[in-house]
Amino acid sequence: MTNEVENIVVLDFGSQYSQLIARRIRECNVYSKILPFNAPAEKIKAENPSGIILSGGPASVYAENSPKCDKDIFNLGIPVLGICYGLQLMIHTLGGKVASSNAREYGKAIVRAKNHDRLFEGLGEEIQVWMSHGDKVLQLPEGFVPVAETDNTEYAAINLPGKNFYGIQFHPEVVHTPRGKEFISNFCHKICGCSGNWTMRNFIETALEDIKNTVGDKNVILGLSGGVDSSVAAALISKAIGEQLTCIFVNNGVLRKNEAERVQQLYRDNFKLNFVYVDATDRFLDKLADVNDPERKRKIIGNEFVEVFDHAASEIDNVAFLAQGTTYPDVIESVPIDGNPAAMIKSHHNVGGLPEKMKLKLLEPLSRLFKDEVREVGKELGLPHDVVMRQPFPGPGLAVRHIGALTRETIAILQEADSIVVEEMKKADLYYKTWQAFAVFLPVRSVGVMGDERTYDYAIALRAVESSDGMTADWVKLPYELLERISSRIINEVRGVNRVVYDITSKPPGTIEWE
């Protein structure tokens, strides 16, 4: 981003919610950038931030190997907000005392504001918040004052007057703090002085300039899947460099039913792109045969994907970049970023399945956007509604919705079942109102009765979730009539299935995809 764009730097101490903090800042029309917890103060200063937020984290600040920030960030003259662990780190670093608490505070709490602090402006005297901590501030550093309390702690929020240092023990970034966005907004606008000049149009202008400068006179190939992310990436890169971009659509054998035909028709008829179709079905399915482990599936698909692109690149002159529609959740969940101590959840084929010696450089213009932001970019670029609003589809395709080793027969079963789910969700006018709805193949056979005959066939699980960014999700209470219709159609129309179940697990503790 350019220095003209106001931004808030988030230092990540391993919290699973760091990306949500960044997201809430962006909702205030302020750009946010996540840096590792140990980023040097000079590097942070170079970002020209209007403020700094210290994220939460799983560690205890008094532990020997707990993540610490550069102490000099408190000498930059920039407002700082510490959230949970971030508050405790600020206290610990500046001379206060933090210790383990006998009364761990987890879940809903009521914060009582006092001193009419700017952070609480417009929020009233009592605010419902969400707590998650086992440590407690025992003593404030010199000059700090408490500005809010709960029944469990008198230091639910603190401030160092004159320095614009703030700390809150609760999490304003999660939905369980109903007015959390107002806390973030107060920090960004009232304390940091941001006017809120960052929009998706602003992002597009900057991204186009960055793509041009990065690519230069080289050519780019992009893996076009037909999903939202790769489509928006294609439109954005094409707008920046035109015919220097070649989009390659690879049929890996684990796509949705009729997906190859749909994508070819869509992009050849509606987009002015260099388009190449590669049918690698047999190549992928042969490599995936007898593979049960989901991580191995992802790695195999990632490696094969790149090899196909390396071959395609050899037939196109001057290719130096492989473009992907990688988004922020892909990056955050896949690998620790720049020393982030957060644990890996799972790899994605975008970022976790690429071989170390890949011949092409990666170009990922959407890698700092959340899904809803990607959709906004797509709308700004004029992409069709059914492309922009299409439900997310995993890079490894149906391979991660097929539990256990797959065969051509069982993938076909899953494709048919999935097609019915999508069709019925659209008929019920719920497809575009739901984050994701899909079928999962279970390699479990059970006894059934169809007609007057005994069957011993597979089970299909249905999954439907609501989310705004893919980082957290709740299962959808689909109408019983719709579930009944989907179940009936799958059992009657998909040979090899005699049982349908519904997954009612939220994220966390589960993930959206089964593998």
- The catalytic site residues sit at 84, 171, 173
Q: Distance (Å, rounded) from C-alpha 230 to C-alpha 154?
A: 49
Place of tokens 């987009």: 271
Pull the structure tokens for residue 107.
């879940």
Q: Output the DSSP codes for 256-298.
A: PTTHHHHHHHHHHHH---EEEEEE-HHHHHHHHTT---HHHHH
Write out the H or E segment, with its range, that includes residue 465: strand 453-466
Three-class DSSP category at 382: coil
Pull the structure tokens for residue 160.
């160092």
Backbone angles phi, psi at 404, to 5 degrees: 80, -175
Non-local (6+) Cβ contacts of 83 within 8 A are 21, 53, 54, 55, 56, 167, 168, 170, 171, 172, 173
Kindly list the distances between the CA atom of residue 134 and the CA atoms of 58, 170, 204, in Å, as whole numbers in the listed order.
Answer: 10, 12, 42
Backbone angles phi, psi at 383, to 5 degrees: -70, 150
Greatest CA separation for the chain: 81
Write out the H or E segment, with its range, that includes residue 19: helix 18-27
Strand partners, 33: 9
Closest alpha carbon to 502 in 479, 482, 474, 483: 483
Number of Cβ atoms within 10 Å of the Cβ of 428:
17
Using a 10 angstrom Cβ sphere, with 0-12 exposed, 13-18 middle and 19 or more buried, the burial of residue 431 is buried
| Strand duo 245-251 + 361-363: pairing | unpaired
Terminal CA-to-CA distance of the chain, rounded, Å?
A: 35
DSSP 488: H
Non-local (6+) Cβ contacts of 219 within 8 A are 244, 245, 246, 316, 317, 318, 319, 320, 321
Pull the structure tokens for residue 444.
């479990």
Helix (H) and strand (E) counts in the chain: 14, 18
